[in-house]
């Protein structure tokens, strides 16, 4: 997983464009349904032919507008999610699992931080006992690594 130079350069989202694209997609889907019905019921009459041609043209029209609309989108999608949808799975499951991993990692690291802090205090205490000369230096180190002191 590469890191983008440590900068937060994520583009601002464009909810309007997203909604517009969504609506356009809905239309395309509906057009496909209609087109399917027409083809299914196609009788070979002139009217039917004209209707079908018109509908196909409409579809291509909708394709064009869809491309135009989607050009404004800034969202980037992880490949894993695309794979999820391609496999017919719910992308929300991906979302949920990822959030759970995050929470777990957070807990673990929190515990590590706490343990390390305790170890630091004990070590400092022992060093101070064993080497009284180093008390100042130890205190200095404690002070600099104490998150409370750093927040002060």
Q: How many residues does the chain have?
A: 152
Instruction: Give me the sign of the Cα torsion angle 75, 81, 84, 86.
Output: positive
* 135 is a site residue for another protein (CB under 8 A): no
Contact status, residue 9 vs residue 15, Cβ threshold 8 Å: no
Residue with Cβ nearer another protein (74 or 118)? 74
Sole binder of another protein in the list 4, 16, 47, 148 (CB under 8 A): 4
Distance in Å, CB of 114 to another protein, minimum: 11
| CA–CA separation, 33 and 12 (whole Å) | 35
**Residue window 86-125: x/- pattern of binding to another protein, with contact defined by CB under 8 A:** x----xx--x--xx-xx--xx-xx--x---x---------
Distance in Å, CB of 140 to another protein, minimum: 6
Distance in Å, CB of 71 to another protein, minimum: 6
Residues 57-76 touching another protein, rule: CB under 8 A, are 59-60, 63, 66-67, 70-76
Q: Is 23 helix (H, G, I), strand (E, B) or coil?
A: helix
Specify the DSSP class assigned to residue 90: -
Please compute, for residue 27, the number of CA atoms within 13 A of its CA located in the half-sphere on the CB side.
Answer: 17
Residues 23-62 touching another protein, rule: CB under 8 A, are 25-26, 28-29, 32-33, 35-36, 39-40, 42, 44, 56, 59-60
Q: 27 CB contacts (<8 Å, ≥6 apart)?
A: 62
């Amino acid at each position: 997983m590469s890191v983008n130079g440590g900068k937060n350069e994520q583009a601002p989202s464009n909810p309007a464009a997203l909604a517009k694209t969504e609506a356009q997609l809905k239309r395309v889907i509906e057009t496909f349904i209609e087109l399917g019905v027409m083809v299914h019921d196609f009788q070979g009459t002139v009217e039917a032919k004209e209707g079908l041609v018109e509908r196909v043209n409409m579809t291509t029209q909708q394709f064009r507008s869809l491309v135009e609309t989607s050009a404004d989108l800034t969202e980037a999608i992880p490949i894993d999610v695309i794979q999820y949808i391609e496999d017919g799975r719910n992308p929300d499951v991906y979302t949920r699992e990822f959030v759970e991993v995050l929470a777990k990692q957070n807990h673990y690291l929190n515990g590590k931080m706490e343990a390390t802090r305790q170890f630091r205090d004990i070590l400092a205490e022992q060093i101070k006992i064993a080497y009284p000369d180093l008390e100042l230096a130890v205190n200095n180190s404690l002070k600099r690594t104490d998150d409370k002191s750093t927040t002060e």
